[in-house]
A = this chain, B = another copy of it.
């Protein structure tokens, strides 16, 4: 499914991370200018790992909301639920404060995701 790792005929470059340099989960190092500070490369490697986790969690979230959409469409429930969204926002703001995330950003983030979900639900309802 993915290419063999390159043969190590030359001495390996000093590792910047654990060496998972193959496949989409690999840190994005190719094309990084060699004069980038090592600390920057280290942080970017962590950001890339976190982004991979975020994408997988978002995929899982949309699998859930897809099922919610089908359920709502078959039971004739409205795609949006403002009261539920208000509670979600309030809770995520609290969680954000605990985690050291700007609660304003957490709210913007949830609204961004919910907008996409409602768009999906409307499509499901139209197709039903």
Contact = CB atoms under 8 A, between A and B. Distances in A.
A58 B24 contact: no
Contacts of A96: 55, 59
B24 A71 contact: no
Contact of A67 (B43, B52, B110): B43
Interface of A is mostly: helix
A54 B59 contact: no
A43 B24 contact: no
Interface string A70-102: 011001010000011001100111111111111
Interface residues of A, number: 63
A28 interface: yes
Contacts of A32: 84
A19 interface: no
Interface of A: 1-2, 5, 24-25, 28, 30-32, 37, 39-40, 43-44, 46-48, 50-65, 67-68, 71-72, 75, 77, 83-84, 87-88, 91-103, 105-106, 108-110, 112, 116
